[in-house]
Structure 1
């Protein structure tokens, strides 16, 4: 029988911890996804590394901001602004209203077109929120970082993936390359809330329709040693007879497995009073996410041996942002 010296065992354990890679999976969930910001705050404060990020819907948005070099504090600050609330509600800032066509006031939801030569036509709106301002904001935010990364999401500040739902071919699509703004916009196109977008001839909707917790994408693409999940979405409850959106989503959505494929991992499940489309007070959801992460922190600290110094992360973040090119509008088409 061979005896391995204690010093050798300790050295092996230390080397293993130093090489430990950690992935963060962020679920969809509308405004509830703001809890992810609090989760990331808690992880950074405790020196837990975030080496990879995958997200769906709101998780894709929050994750993309972090992967682009935003700190959790900066994301918190943005979400707390009046500008973000207006964007989330599909509004337009008063100073920009002059530049947008304003339709005639119309309270109708359904339009019936009658013509003697044609059959009865019914027109339902494809969205109840105007995405123009949020589309512009994402282009400005993600354009420079996409260019810096060479449109390769492995080359962002943190390697990143998001998922969207291709309703043309009825399948989940993983974004690993291309324009980050388009990828995030596709992933967060909640049915009938934001208008879907067309990419390469395919109509893209909210990633949560087919994969609302992309832990499988995390495992398959990055193979981390440890996965931390932040989940505020569960398989939807039965649709209500008084809620058209819940009925339509129930018809389109596939059931998602809210588990992690990695042998080692933790799923944080924040509970919050924030509702699906309520972006009025992000501080509540963010605080709830922080509290949920701190409740699981002893377990995470025990299983994740590797640590990062918050000041070092902040310095790397500043260096990454400093390398981003300046955005220039070379062509405007109306």
Structure 2
């Protein structure tokens, strides 16, 4: 994403004629999203626009990399296509006129809201800023209050905080991820990881190189870290095929790294026994073990 161009677009907006909406959203038990869009006054609109602008200015010179389910590199920000996130269009739909609730948000709903979205309309395309909400918990045995006209008044417990940070920015179908974990939490992509990991495991099963495979599958899908690695591996199918096609190298890696993995059927299959082997087997499948050129040192990708 061209962040500098986006900063320029926002800077050129007429603050006396801003066109924006603020949405607060939660995911309901049935899996659908509910969004509310309260009225936002002109002064607050300017302040909200300024917060989004400052967040972008901070990352103008940051290196950008494609989103990886297994984690990001410190100092880098990630990008991906918004349509690659399954729930994105569902969330957008909850913000459309036919679905969004513009009435007063019921008090009981406030504590259920999980994120907000600031949508700025421009001639270049809509700019969306996403951020998880900050909630103020009740004081134990007390309450929050404020001074008004020399009176001290109790505040109710339906307060939400909007801080100057931004988690996700979306512009013209491209997603800029400023907070890696927030992509998972705002867009609830755990189910998407599960689906892709299941597809990867189908490819692994077809290679017929792991015994007790059904238990292996179950254990993989119950481990979030392994599920993320298998999701990424779906885009590395050739890499995985090469591992199984050169199984003698698997045998060598098991020996070099003294992995607690047994082999069966004349050293042609990996014997899966329990969860303690999940990481090592996943690293084998991903071809994560290596030897350095300069130091001739053995190692493996710490990402999984």
TM-score (norm 2): 0.22
- Kindly indicate which of the two structures has a greater share of residues assigned to strand: 2
Bigger Rg, which one:
2
TM-score (norm 1): 0.21
Higher relative contact order structure (alpha carbons within 8 Å, sequence separation ≥ 6): 1
